[in-house]
Structure formats: C-alpha cells, structure tokens
Amino acid sequence: MEFVATSEAPAAIGPYSQAVKVNGLVYTSGQIALRADGSMVEDDVVKQTEQVFANLRAVLAEAGSSLDRVVKVMAFVADIEDFATVNAIYADAFGSHKPARSLVAAKTLPKNALVEIEVIALCD
C-alpha cells in the first residue's frame, strides 16, 4: 500500500490521504473545490466542479494515473438541481471515456462545497 500526496492539490483537511495505491489501483479521497493553497473556490457550481477536476487530475498524476484510466466515479452534489451542470463538466472532463458512476445529492458536503467527487482508477 502506498499513500499519495501532491502539493498540486489541497492537503487533506482531516486524518486521511489524498489517495491510496494498492494492487494496481488508486483510490482518491473525495475532492471538493479547495485550491492547492487550501482556499475555497467561490460559491459557483461551475467553478467548483472545474476545481474538483483539477484536483483529481493532480492527485491521479501523482499516483501515475489519469482521468482516462478511471473505472469508477462517486459524485455528490449539494443540490440535485445542479445535476445537469455538473454532468456537462463531467462529460467534458472525461470525453469519450465513460467510467461507471454514481451521483447522489447530499444534504451537506465538507466546507459547504457544492460538489465532491472521488474516483478509483488504474495506476502504474
């Protein structure tokens, strides 16, 4: 087991790792719209979702992976009314790659984020 950490994404805000590699897979922790310096992106679902994907790209890269190697996505939105907006950014981020996915509305996300996404991906 290998713990993954990069300064290109926000540090964990609790007792957990940005990601863990085991048996050829990387499991990321949920990413919210924190910048690498720990500041939160403004209260805008588009900007927050874009930051979440920037964070995921950074953590996956550190683990020797990328979005095109993701096999499963777990996504959470604070408001199900944002589903279509998040889905459009998600589709753009993954392109023709279509991993399995769950997306649920959660009453409250950490730091009152609007979006949180975690992934499982193949890694080197």
CA distance 26 to 119: 8
Tell me the whole-structure pTM to 2 decimals.
0.96
Residue whose pair of structure tokens reads 């007792």 in the numeric block: 15
pLDDT digit string (tens) for 26-82? 999 999 999 999 999 999 999 999 999 999 999 999 999 999 999 999 999 999 999
pLDDT value of residue 13: 84
Q: Three-state DSSP class for 85?
A: helix
Per-domain boundaries in the chain: 2-122
Amino acid at 108: T
Return the sign of the alpha-carbon dihedral for residues 29, 51, 12, 111.
negative
CA distance 116 to 120: 14
2-122: what CATH class?
alpha beta
Residue whose pair of structure tokens reads 């023709």 in the numeric block: 96
